[in-house]
Amino acid sequence: EAAASGRLHDFVLTVEAGPVGGVPASGLDFGCSRSPQSVIDQPSQFDFYDGGGLDIAILGAAEVGADGSVNVSVFGERVAGVGGFVNITHSAKRLVFCFPLRSGGLEVSRDESGGIVIEREGSFAKFVHQLPRERVCFDGPTAIKRGQDVLYVTERAVFRLTATGLELQELAPGIDVNKHVLSLMDFSPQISKAIRPMPAECFQ
């Protein structure tokens, strides 16, 4: 997306395997990058991460608890492991977790005015009341103590981590906050006194 919009010059992307700059590959090619500025060995890359070199990290999430903790390693009966997730989330100054509000068959479209339409709702909640301790790959309360800035971005709402849990701060156009967000979470987040619309460019 950044390459398509011509914004790659605004930041430098890295991959755990060692590429710095360029366009990271996805899918089965993950770990490679097209036209990187440099490629360093993986231990040196993790030294950079562990030393606080990342200004911001964009990651996914399988489940998020009411305290902002995140699971990325256990999906039902499947155990995927965490890879470099722990190193990155522990040391990056800002974190943005991007994932759908629900999973399992979710289908989303846009109407003519640019609003979000939920064609088919997901079967499984991603926002759960509390994660089992063995599934906590990122601990929300610890991140607050470290002073990290943490956002949780879904296709219909944006939340921020606070000292008292998640706070709903932005809403997508066409989304009803009660019907499409709050009623589909396993807990009740705090709600900002001034909920903002998500930026229009997110839906272009």
Could you list the active site residues?
A: 16
Compute the distance between CA of residue 131 and CA of residue 126 in angstroms, rounded to an integer. Answer: 11
| Number of neighbours of residue 172 by Cβ within 10 angstroms | 22
- Quickly count helices (H) and strands (E) in the chain: 3, 18
Give the separation between CA 6 and CA 135, rounded to whole angstroms. Answer: 38
**Please, are residues 83 and 16 in contact by the beta-carbon 8 Å criterion?**
yes
Judge whether 106 and 120 are in contact, CB under 8 Å.
Answer: yes
Torsion sign over Cα 140, 73, 55, 171: negative
Between vectors from CA 59 to CA 195 and to CA 128, what angle results, nearest 5°? 60
> Tokens representing 137?
């790959």
